[in-house]
Amino acid sequence: MATPRLVKDIRAGSSGSKITGLTTVGNSLYFQANDGVSGYELWKHDSSSLETAFEKTFGTALVKDIQPGQIDNGAFGGISPKGSFPSALTAVGSILYFSADDGVNGLELWKSDGTADGTTLVANINTSNSFPTKGTSIGNTLFFTAVSTQGRELMRTGGTPASTTVVKDIIADKFNVPGDYFSSNPNHLTAIGNTLYFTATDLFGGRELWRSDGTEEGTLRLKDIVLGAQGSSPSNLTAVGNTLFFTANDGVKGQELWKSDGTTEGTMLVKDIFAGNSGSDIRYLTAVGNTLYFRADDGIGGSELWKSDGTEDGTVRVKDILPGISGSDIRYLTAVGNTLYFRATNGAFANGRELWKSDGTSAGTVLVKDIMEGGSSSLPKELTAIGNILYFTADDGINGEELWKSDGTVTGTVRISDIRSGFNSSNILELTVVNSPLRNLLYFRADDGINGDELWVLDTTQADDEDNGVSITLMVSPSSVTEDGSSNLIYTFTRTGSTTNPLTVNYRAGGTATPGIHYSGISTAPGTKSITFAAGSATATVTVDPTANRSQDTNKTVSLRLLEGAGYTIGTTSDVSGTILNDDLIGTSARNTIVGTALAEFIDGLQSSDTLTGRGGPDVFGFRYSHSTLTAPDRVTDFRFGTDKVDLFTSSGGNLAAPTGFTRASTNNTATTLAALATAVFTDANGALAGNQALGANRAALVVATKSSIRGTYLFINDGNAGRNNSTDLLINLTGHSGTLPGLGVIPVGSVFA
C-alpha cells in the first residue's frame, strides 16, 4: 500500500507553515501558508505530473507576496513579516478568487491565474475593508457578499472592476433609505443550474429565502414563510437534483425540513418531523443520488438518521441506531457512490463513536468497523470520497489519530500509515482531492512531529495499483420496487484494486421473476452473462425495469450471482436479490372488501358491490362498465383528490380511454335515492352553468348529496352510449376522501382519471 509523503517543508523547523484553505483549481492546489519570510501569503502546488508531485519540490511555490515588508510587534513580539492573509478561496473555472489585504486597499477581492503577474486586485469595493466572503460560481461569474457603500449585500464579478457590482441593494429597496446604513447580510449562497439561492433580511420580511438570476430585477424573495419582520431563518440550503432543500421555522412547527422548486407555490414544508413547535433540530443535509439524508429528532427516537425523497410519506427515519431519546450523535455525512458514510454511536457500552454506512434501509445501516474496540471511540472525521473508497482520520487507541481508508468492509477498513509515530496524532486536516491527468491525489495538512504543520499527499491510484489483485463486489439498491412504480432495481458491481483498464465480469441471473415477462434489462440468454467496467471506472450497473401489469400476482425476485472470470476475484459469494413487489389487488365476482398497503397499488374489486381502501398510495382504482352500476355501486373509502386515480375498463377487462369531459354538478339537497340522484345528474351535470347540461356519452360528473339516506360524494360515468343505462353506466361512491374537492363546473379529466 502506498504511503503519504511530505510535499514540501515550506517553513523549516518544527513550527510548520500552518497551511489552510486548500482549494483545487484544475490540476493545481492553492492554499495559504507562512514560510517565515513573506508571512501568510498565497501558495500554489502543481500536481500535473508525477515527478512534480512526488520527486521534486519546485512545483510548490509562493504565488505572490501581496503585502511585502515587516511589522514590529514590540519588545516581546519581535519583527515578523506582514502577510496578506488570503482567505475565502473559491475556484471559478481556471481562476482562483480570494480575499486579501495588500496593506493599501484593505481586505478586498483578488484573483489569480497561478502567476505573480496574474495575481491582481479585482476591485477596491470599499475604501476601508469590504471583507469579501467565500463565494459560489455560476458559469464564469462569482457571486459573493461584501461590504460596500450599500452595506453587506449580494455581489457578482466577472473578474474586472467594471463587472464587480452589487446585484441588488435589498435593504435600500425595501426601506427607501441610504443602503450604507443597513445590510441584508446574504448567506448560504447555493447554486442550482443558473439560479442562485440564498437567505437575506429585508427588515419588513425578516430573514427569508431569496433567489437570483444575477440581475436586480431577477433577485426576489422566494416566499415570506413567516409574515412580518421575524422571518423563518432558513439555513442548511442543499441541492438535490433540481430541488432545493432547507430548514426553516414557520413560527408554528419550529425548525423543520422544507423544499423549493424555485417558485413561491413550490416552496413548502416537507414534513413536521417533531410535532408541535419545538422543531426537529435538522442538521447535516447530504445528497446521495436523488435522496436527501440528514440528522433529525422526532421527539421519540432522539437525533437519528433520516432520509427524504421530497414527499411527506417519503421522509422517514432510516434507523434508530441508539434506541431511546439520546440519539446516536450522527455527523460527517458523506456520499461515496450510492452509499452514505457517517459517524455514529450505538452506545457507550457497545461501540462508541465509530464509522457507519447506510444504503437507505434499516437493515443496510450498519457499523463498518469498531476501530477502537469496545465502548471507546475512534472519532472518525474528515470523511472524503475518491471513487468508491472513503478516506478519513481515526484514532485506534494505539497510533493516535491518523489517515485511514475504507471500502465498506471490515477487512477493507485499514490505517494507511502512522505519519507521526507512536501514540501522538499527526493532526490531519483539510483532506482535498486533486484529479490530475494520471493520478487521483489526496492532499492534506499534517504534522509528523519533525517538520511541523505542512502539506502532505497520498497517491490513491498508486495505492490501488499496489493492492493485491482486483476484487468484485455486488449490491442492489433499492432492495425492492413495485411493478408499476417509477423506480428500478439497480445492481451495482464494484471493483477494488486497479481501475486503470477495462474489465469484463461474469454473472448469472436467477430468481422467481422471468426476464422478458416480469422485467426487462437482462436478456434471457445466454445463461452466463457479463458486464464491462470502463477504463478508470470503479463501478458498473445493471438496471432491472419491472414490467407493469394489472393482474394480481405474488412478489417476484431477481437474483444475480458473480461468476469466476479472468483478472478478478469474487468478493460477494452469495446471491444478491431484489424483489419486485406485487402492487395489484384484484377481487372476485363476489362482494369484496379490499384493503391496500403503503404501496402505490392498482385495486379492482371486479363484479358486485365492493369496498375498496387504498391506505398508501398514490393508488389507482380500476372499474369496469357493468361491474359498478347505478343500482349496485362500489365504494372507495379513502380517495385522495390530487394523487389517487380512476382507471376505466370494458366489462371483459380491456383498456378504455379516460372520459372526454368531466364536471361537477350542483350539490343535491333533495334526492333521497340513488335513482333520483342519477336522474338529477344525467339531467344537469354542470353546476357552474345556467340551464341544464346533460351528462353525455363518455363523460363523467361528480356530485355531493346531502340527504341522510344517500349522503356522500358520488362519481357518475356515462358509457359510450348516450343516455342513462342502469346496467352499464358506472357509479362510484366516494365514502371517504381527502385533498381538495373540485369546484363546480369543468374539472380537468387528468386530475382524477388515469
C-alpha cell at 377: 471511540
**Where does the pLDDT of residue 374 fall: very low under 50, low under 70, confident under 90, or very high at 90 and above?**
confident
Query: What per-residue confidence (pLDDT) applies to 77?
Result: 65
**Where does the pLDDT of residue 598 fall: very low under 50, low under 70, confident under 90, or very high at 90 and above?**
confident
Give 255-275 pLDDT, tens digit per residue.
999 999 999 999 999 999 999
CA distances for 43 relative to 19, 99, 213, 585, 656, angstroms: 9, 14, 33, 67, 70
pTM over 0.85? The answer is no
Interval 294-299 mean pLDDT: 96
Does residue 2 have a pLDDT over 80? no
Burial state string for 564-599 with b = 16 or more CB within 10 A and e = fewer than 16: ebeebebbbeeebbbbbbbbbbbbeeeebebebeeb
Give 278-296 pLDDT, tens digit per residue.
999 999 999 999 999 999 9
**Where does the pLDDT of residue 681 fall: very low under 50, low under 70, confident under 90, or very high at 90 and above?**
very high
What are the residues whose beta carbons fall under 8 Å from the beta carbon of 623, sequence distance 6 or more? 604, 634, 646, 647, 648, 649, 717, 730, 732
Residue 202 backbone dihedrals phi, psi, to 5 degrees: -115, 20
CA distances for 710 relative to 179, 610, 703, 742, angstroms: 65, 17, 12, 20
Does residue 241 have a pLDDT over 80? yes
Query: What per-residue confidence (pLDDT) applies to 260?
Result: 97
Query: What per-residue confidence (pLDDT) applies to 347?
Result: 81
C-alpha cell at 494: 464494484
Q: How many other β-carbons are positioned within 10 Å of the β-carbon of residue 175?
A: 15
Query: What per-residue confidence (pLDDT) applies to 176?
Result: 55
- Cis-peptide into 234, omega within 30 deg: no
Query: What per-residue confidence (pLDDT) applies to 50?
Result: 43
Q: Cα dihedral angle (119, 122, 124, 126), rounded to 10 degrees?
A: -120
Does residue 175 have a pLDDT over 70? no
Q: How many other β-carbons are positioned within 10 Å of the β-carbon of residue 128?
A: 11
**Where does the pLDDT of residue 18 fall: very low under 50, low under 70, confident under 90, or very high at 90 and above?**
very high
Interval 242-246 mean pLDDT: 97
Distance of CA 679 to the CA centre of its chain: 53
Question: How many residues appear in the chain?
Answer: 754
Under a CB-based contact definition with an 8 Å cutoff, are residues 634 and 625 in contact? no
pLDDT above 70 covers a percentage of the chain that reads 94
